[in-house]
Amino acid sequence: MTQNDDEPIERNADMNIITKILSVLVAAEFIYIFYLETIATTSVKTSKVFGMTTEELSQKNVTVLFKNQGVYNGLISLLILLAVFAFASKAAVICLMAYIVAVALYGSFTSNPKIILMQGGLAILTLISCIF
């Protein structure tokens, strides 16, 4: 790829290895959340993670909502991996991590204060790594 036909574009030149590793860890976290919400929706582990009983998780409307949310989380994971490896875009990584932190902040205010660290902790570290 070239820019102005004489300047080569260096893919990933502005993204350090720590940012890449942390981004992959965030993607892995979201794949795990996808698994819990979409595949293991009514499992004991999902029950513990989300603080709900397996009976509550077995309700059709809850199951449908969890599976839908799980798909969103799976796609966020895919977008992170695309940003790091296919697009090699630090700007895209920053946007995705900022989105994750914003959603975690919302969850910490509306649901559980621990969400900011549980869901947003790695994303915050990834954002910090983008500075260096």
Taking the model in full, what pTM does it have? 0.89
Give a yes or no: residue 32 inside a domain: yes
Cβ 42 vs Cβ 56: under 8 Å: no
The pLDDT score that the predictor gives to residue 84 is: 98
Q: Is the dihedral of CA 57, 41, 47, 97 positive or negative?
A: negative
Give a yes or no: residue 43 inside a domain: yes
Give a yes or no: residue 10 inside a domain: no
The pLDDT score that the predictor gives to residue 132 is: 85
Number of domains within the chain: 1
Give a yes or no: residue 121 inside a domain: yes
The pLDDT score that the predictor gives to residue 7 is: 59
Q: Quick one: average pLDDT of 120-128?
A: 98
pLDDT in tens, 85-116: 999 999 999 999 999 999 999 999 999 999 99
pLDDT in tens, 53-77: 999 999 999 999 999 999 999 999 9
Strands (E) in the chain, as ranges, are 2-3, 7-8
Give a yes or no: residue 115 inside a domain: yes
Give a yes or no: residue 116 inside a domain: yes
| 3-state class (DSSP) for residue 29 | helix
pLDDT at 6 over 70: no
pLDDT in tens, 10-59: 555 689 999 999 999 999 999 999 999 999 999 999 999 999 999 999 99
Can you give the residue range of the structural domain that contains 106?
Answer: 15-131
Give a yes or no: residue 93 inside a domain: yes
The pLDDT score that the predictor gives to residue 14 is: 83
Give a yes or no: residue 6 inside a domain: no
